[in-house]
């Protein structure tokens, strides 16, 4: 009985040892695989941030219908760019689905036609126009106004990703890359990088709001001041996760202006009486 018990303990000890040894070698193999990709999140983040302020070049891609699509046609309005690969079954669909929810909030607050969005497949051999169409349709985003799902070739992918500060490396699971959305201003300059699979609503909508409502004086005095009012009065409501026009701010501004006007009238009348 005692002999059987000792054998059982020895057998259990050997099993634990073999499991630990297997786990050790698996960790080494996984570490080597990760190192072989050359991907470092810190370096990728620094490379991404370095792109801010850079001009976006004009690139020709293809829409889901296979027709040529020049990015230059989107100039004049802010633009959001996201790069994904369609054979990703978890992260990229989640990134794009969550981005879609945020874009819905932004379009409701700022207007459907005030900015554009493009999603580009960077796995160019797989991410054909038809695959991009299927990807968009599978997420229910194929009919979102001013959102274009685009395919392209190796040369454009390399140049565009470098231009945007977006690094991706092949790995055992597909590709390693940042969850990144790039905000471009109306003149084609990279304005902000937004990170995360589940993007905070304000992280993306606030820079878009700044760009959409930053109307230059050349647009006209009235349009400039209307846009300025919209900029300050369109506020985020965390309870509903939506943006709304806060009339109380507008009312306070009007009351403040009227109060200053009454004070000015009073001062002028007193000055005249004093004469």
Q: How confident is the model at residue 141 (pLDDT cuts 50, 70, 90)?
A: very high
Nearest C-alpha neighbor of 43 from the set 204, 165, 198: 165
pTM of the model: 0.71
What is the Cα–Cα distance from 184 to 54, expressed in whole angstroms? 10
What is the Cα–Cα distance from 234 to 149, expressed in whole angstroms? 29
Tens digit of each residue's pLDDT (9 = 90 or more) over 23-78: 444 344 434 444 445 678 889 999 999 999 999 999 999 999 999 999 999 999 99
Q: What is the pLDDT of residue 122?
A: 97
255 vs 113, residue with greater confidence? 113
In contact, 124 and 157? CB cutoff 8 Å: yes
Beta bridge partners of 149: 119
Residue 105 reports pLDDT greater than 70? yes
Tell the residue number behind the tokens 């349009």, with chain if given: 223
Mean pLDDT on 146-174:
95
Beta bridge partners of 177: 168
236 vs 164, residue with greater confidence? 164
Q: What is the pLDDT of residue 261?
A: 76
Residue 184 reports pLDDT greater than 70? yes
Tell the residue number behind the tokens 């005692």, with chain if given: 2
252 vs 37, residue with greater confidence? 252
DSSP letter (8 states) at residue 124: T
Question: How many CB atoms are closer than 10 A to CB 129?
Answer: 20
Q: How confident is the model at residue 196 (pLDDT cuts 50, 70, 90)?
A: very high
Please give the C-alpha separations between residue 215 and each of 99, 108, 219, 220, in angstroms, as whole numbers: 26, 19, 7, 9
At the second CATH level, the architecture of 44-200 is 3-Layer(aba) Sandwich (3.40)
Question: How many CB atoms are closer than 10 A to CB 85?
Answer: 20
Nearest C-alpha neighbor of 109 from the set 261, 237, 249: 237
């Amino acid at each position: 009985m005692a002999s059987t018990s000792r054998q059982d303990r020895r057998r259990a000890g050997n099993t634990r040892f073999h499991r630990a040894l297997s786990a050790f070698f698996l960790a080494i193999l996984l570490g080597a695989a990760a190192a072989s990709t050359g991907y470092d999140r810190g370096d990728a983040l620094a490379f991404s941030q370095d792109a801010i302020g850079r001009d976006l070049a004009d690139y020709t891609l293809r829409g889901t219908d296979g027709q040529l699509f020049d990015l230059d046609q989107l100039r004049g309005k802010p633009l959001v760019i996201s790069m994904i690969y369609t054979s990703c079954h978890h992260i990229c669909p989640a990134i794009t689905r969550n981005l879609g929810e945020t874009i819905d909030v932004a379009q409701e607050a700022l207007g459907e036609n005030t900015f554009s969005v493009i999603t580009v497949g960077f796995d160019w051999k797989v991410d054909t126009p038809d695959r991009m169409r299927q990807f968009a349709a599978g997420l229910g985003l194929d009919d979102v106004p001013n959102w274009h799902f685009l395919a392209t070739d190796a040369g454009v992918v390399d140049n565009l990703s470098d231009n945007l500060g977006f690094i991706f490396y092949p790995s055992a699971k597909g590709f390693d890359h940042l969850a990144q959305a790039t905000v471009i201003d109306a003149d084609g300059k990279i304005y902000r990088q937004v990170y995360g699979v589940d993007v905070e609503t304000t992280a993306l909508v606030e820079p878009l709001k700044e760009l959409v409502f930053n109307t230059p004086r050349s647009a006209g005095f009235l349009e400039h001041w209307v846009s300025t009012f919209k900029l300050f009065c369109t506020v985020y409501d965390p309870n509903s996760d939506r943006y709304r026009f806060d009339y109380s701010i507008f009312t306070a501004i009007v009351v403040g202006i009227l109060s200053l006007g009454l004070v000015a009238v009073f001062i002028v009348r007193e000055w005249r009486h004093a004469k």
